[in-house]
Structure formats: structure tokens, C-alpha cells
Amino acid sequence: MTPPYEGQVAVVTGGSSGIGLATARLLLEQGARVAICARGEGRLMDVAAVLKRDFGADRVLAQAFSVLEPAANQAFASAVEQSLGKCDLLVNNAGQGRISTFADTTDEDWRAELDLKLFSQIHPIRAFLPLLTEASGAIVVVNSLLAYQPEPHMVCTSSARAAVQSLVKSLSVELAPKVRVNAVLMGLIGSGQWTRRFAEREDKSVSREDWYADLARRKGIPLGRLGDPAEAAAAIAFLGSRAASYITGAQLDVSGGLARFM
């Protein structure tokens, strides 16, 4: 059987760790050539070296920059076109949550969060849209369950995530039929901020498994655990693939049952 991404080119932002790295690796396993980017050059290049070792240097491209810089996104798109020839899939995966209530969120915090969440989508999409249109490709936005199920202690991030989801819906209509646009809504995934919070736990004798299990219980996750980045990657790969060719403007909930909205 032909791998689902054989002959295709995928771009993954925030590709040096967590969900982004798991997605890049899965797409490579499924036959794609993959370009990744992230802000931290050292970690990105270390990750790229491992991926090149495992999958071949000609199948991996890495470039360090901030997706909030328009010119850097355009340069990345040009590098992808020159090195890999096209772009069939753009996975926008950048930005972490900000913990704050309405009372303690400053105007500067609001602007920074909205800028990060929206323009980390807008700039890469704008840069890669010509290539995606030519390939009749797909965009998968990595968003959060907060877009539909806001938390009072993350009021700023929840609002920004809702704005991103509105953008996904708008683009799915505007870019059709040439480019499909979908989103995955992440619940609690065992990477990024949760890895950092585990490392900062007060009781260092508590294992990762027990700490995550207790967190899942307190958060009320029906499946009783946090998600794995590989599970998030599988959902992303599905939405970006030909198997989802009649799906656009949709959101796939990857939260272990945490979602309460219908």
C-alpha cells in the first residue's frame, strides 16, 4: 500500500518539539518531505539532524525564525519551493497559553496574545497560499478546546483561540475549493506547558504517570489521562490527507472527552 503522503510536501510550524515534532515525524513516516521551523535555532537544528538521520537529508528542511515576522515567512516559503518544489500541507502549530483572569490581564497582554494567536496563523498562510493553491492543498490549524470551552483563568487565551477558530471558518469558505482549511482542538496534551509544570511540581517523589493521572482526575477527563503528542499528530495527519478530501471548515476534538460543547 502506498503511504498516504508519498510524493507530498508538508510544512510544520513550531516543529522542534511537542505536537509539532510528533507531526513532522509522522508525516515523514507516511512518505512526505517535511519542512519545519521554530524560533530556537539550536534545538531546531538538533531535531533536524535526527530527522535527517532517520529519514534522509533530502527529505527534511529546517529554518529558524519567528512566524510573527512576515518577511521571514516569505523567505521560508521561497526556501521550501526551491528545495522541495511545492507545498501540499501547512500545519500551523505555534503559541502557548497565557494564565490570567480579566482582572489581571493588561492591555499589553491582550494585544500580545491576540497578536501571537492570530498572526502566527495569518503570516504563514499568506506566505504559503500560492503554493497551497497550486497544489490544491490543505491547512490544518492546531487550536485549543478553549476556543469553544473557555476557562476563567485563561480569559485572554480563550478569547484569542475563539478568534482563530473564526478565522478557520472564514478561510475554509474563501479558499475553497482549491484549499481545505480545518482545525484540531487540543485538550490537555502531555507536552509543552504540562511537561514544564510537572518539572516544577512541589513533591519530586511523584512520578510523571501519577502526576498526569491526578491532573486528569482533577480536570475531569473521561479517558483518565493526558493525550500523547503522537495522538494529536495522528488527527492532524488525517485532516491534512486525501482521506479527508471532503472535509473543510471542520474541527476535530482531541481532548479525551473533556469537551462539553455539542
Domain boundaries, the chain: 9-187+229-249, 190-226
Question: What is the Cα–Cα distance from 90 to 34, expressed in whole angstroms?
Answer: 10
Instruction: Please determine, for residue 1, whether its predicted confidence score (pLDDT) is greater than 80.
Output: no
- CA 215 from centroid of its chain's CA atoms: 23
Q: How high is the pLDDT of residue 96?
A: 76
Once rounded to an integer, what is the mean pLDDT over residues 6-19?
96
Instruction: Please determine, for residue 189, whether its predicted confidence score (pLDDT) is greater than 80.
Output: yes
Question: What is the Cα–Cα distance from 77 to 197, expressed in whole angstroms?
Answer: 35
This prediction has a pTM of 0.95
Q: How far is the first Cα of the chain from the last one, in angstroms, to the nearest whole number?
A: 37
Once rounded to an integer, what is the mean pLDDT over residues 221-230?
94
Does residue 64 contact residue 39 with C-beta atoms inside 8 Å? yes
Give tens-digit pLDDT for 83-117.
999 999 999 997 777 888 999 999 999 999 999 99
Ranges 43-52, 120-129, 194-203, 220-229: which has the least confidence: 194-203
Once rounded to an integer, what is the mean pLDDT over residues 19-41?
97
Q: How high is the pLDDT of residue 6?
A: 97
Once rounded to an integer, what is the mean pLDDT over residues 185-197?
86
Instruction: Please determine, for residue 237, whether its predicted confidence score (pLDDT) is greater than 80.
Output: yes
φ and ψ of 91, to 5 deg: -105, 110
CATH architecture group of domain 9-187+229-249: 3-Layer(aba) Sandwich (3.40)
pLDDT confidence band for 204 (50 / 70 / 90) = confident
* Three cell numbers written together for 99: 494564565
Once rounded to an integer, what is the mean pLDDT over residues 126-155?
96
Question: What is the Cα–Cα distance from 170 to 142, expressed in whole angstroms?
Answer: 16
Q: How high is the pLDDT of residue 53?
A: 98
Q: 146: number of CA atoms within 13 Å, CB side?
A: 22
